[in-house]
């Protein structure tokens, strides 16, 4: 980190979603997905729990993540297909859809807003900075992330044209292509934009590859990862405002 502040004020700031703007305070999303799978099986495959279910879930999740990294797309249908294949089940489409919904968003009311995020977004928006999101969806969908952002009072701060979720755009960080849409639609050159996220190997590497500035936020997860160094590293959203040149006077 060369300094405590960027030498220029960005016109566009994009944010990662999970572990940057929002987080699961209990850190148990996979346990909730596994519980949802058990409940679904109790209805659609009577006969008691499968002792192998945890291993089947973990194996299917690992394969799902590998498939999504190779070809980003909606993740819950991929995970469900892998699980059903392992379990030897072929349920009707409506039952399959209910399982996809359960695994997409097992935390309908439990995600929390990162401390200070709401105030920082409000300050940036009030200063005329355009705000966007560039986020890898994984198993969860862009739709579920929008719902959580809206529930947390954050979605209204963002330009609807500057939202890029990997399951919707077909590319994922660190591929610089995922940043191209928000930049183009905002009419902002990469050198006038900054991305903020928690993962060095994804957020920082992707932003750098796109020609943008990069700020790593370590307030929830401290993951420098492999790859280029961020322009700045911040631990709070107050530090972020100062780093971008918008600290309260």
| Residues with a known catalytic role | 16
Rounded to whole angstroms, how far apart are CA atoms 90 and 70?
A: 26
In angstroms, the CA 227 to CA 204 distance is: 8
- Give backbone dihedrals phi and psi of 154, rounded to 5 degrees, phi first: -105, -30
Nearest C-alpha neighbor of 221 from the set 14, 19, 9: 19
Q: Count the neighbouring beta carbons within 10 Å of the beta carbon of residue 230.
A: 24
Q: How many CB atoms lie within 10 A of CB 127?
A: 12
DSSP state of 243: H
Q: At 130, is the secondary structure helix, strand, or coil?
A: strand
Give the length of the chain. 249
């Amino acid at each position: 980190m060369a300094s405590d502040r960027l030498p220029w004020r960005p016109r566009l700031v994009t944010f990662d979603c999970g572990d940057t703007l929002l987080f699961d305070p209990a850190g148990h999303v996979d346990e909730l997905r596994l519980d949802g799978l058990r409940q679904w099986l109790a209805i659609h495959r009577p006969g008691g729990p499968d002792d192998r279910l945890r291993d089947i879930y973990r194996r299917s999740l690992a394969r799902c993540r590998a498939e999504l990294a190779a070809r980003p797309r909606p993740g819950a249908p991929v995970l469900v297909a892998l699980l059903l294949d392992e379990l030897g089940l072929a349920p009707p489409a409506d039952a399959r859809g209910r399982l996809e919904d359960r695994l997409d968003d097992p935390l309908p009311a439990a995600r929390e807003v990162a401390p200070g995020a709401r105030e920082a977004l409000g300050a940036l928006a009030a200063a005329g900075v355009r705000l966007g999101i560039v986020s890898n969806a994984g198993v969860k969908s862009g739709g579920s992330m929008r719902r959580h952002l809206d529930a947390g009072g954050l979605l209204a701060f963002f330009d609807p044209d500057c939202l890029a979720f990997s399951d919707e755009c077909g590319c994922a960080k660190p591929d610089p292509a995922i940043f191209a849409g928000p930049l183009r639609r905002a009419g902002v050159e990469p050198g006038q934009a900054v991305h903020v996220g928690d993962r060095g190997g994804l957020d920082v590497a992707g932003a750098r590859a796109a020609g943008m500035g990069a700020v790593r936020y370590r307030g929830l997860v401290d993951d420098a990862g492999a790859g280029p160094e961020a322009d700045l590293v911040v631990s709070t959203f107050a530090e972020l405002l100062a780093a971008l040149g918008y600290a309260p006077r």
